[in-house]
Amino acid sequence: MVVEERVSELGFQIPPVPKPAGAYVPGVIAGNLCFTAGQTGTINGKLVYSGKLGAGVSIKDGYQSAQLAVLNCLAELKWALGSLDRVKRIVKVTGFVASAPGFDQQPKVVNGASELLESIFGENGKHARSAVGVAELPFGAPVEVELIVEVR
């Protein structure tokens, strides 16, 4: 439980795995990789922030939403792997940011997920990434994050 201890030291906790909102599973292992489903910034199934970046949602709130989303992805990994200590490295993060016209700071928002993963996993938390602006996300979420990780 070393990973979960590090999460606690940082002032966060791994939530229960979120219930899928559709016909999918939280995570899939393929070879030595695990792919998570996309997650939003929810606590106990309720969005903490809603709306679009550049139209009512600040970069700070988007950053925090990305942190919550990645914690939900870690819950999915725990569900799929049995233990977060099986995560060898974070390979790729994809962040989707609901963006108002003209908003172009998606990388600053998705840094919430990336910087938290690096704080948790150190060098093994450094990853490739995409930060994509989109018109809408499920249920009005401002951010959605998905992970690809290498498994021990």
β-pairing verdict for 46-47 and 42-43: antiparallel
Integer-rounded Cα Rg, in Å, for the chain is: 14
d(CA 113, CA 89): 15
Domains with residue ranges and CATH for the chain: 2-11+26-151 (3.30.1330.40)
- Residue 1: is its pLDDT beyond 70? no
pLDDT of residue 49: 97
- Mean pLDDT over residues 9-29, rounded? 94
Q: Which of 54, 80, 75 has its CA nearest to residue 145?
A: 75
Q: Is the pTM higher than 0.85?
A: yes
- Tell me what the pLDDT averaged over the chain comes to: 97
Distance CA 146, CA 120 (A): 17
Segment holding 4, helix H or strand E = helix 2-9
Q: Model confidence at 134, in pLDDT bands (50, 70, 90)?
A: very high
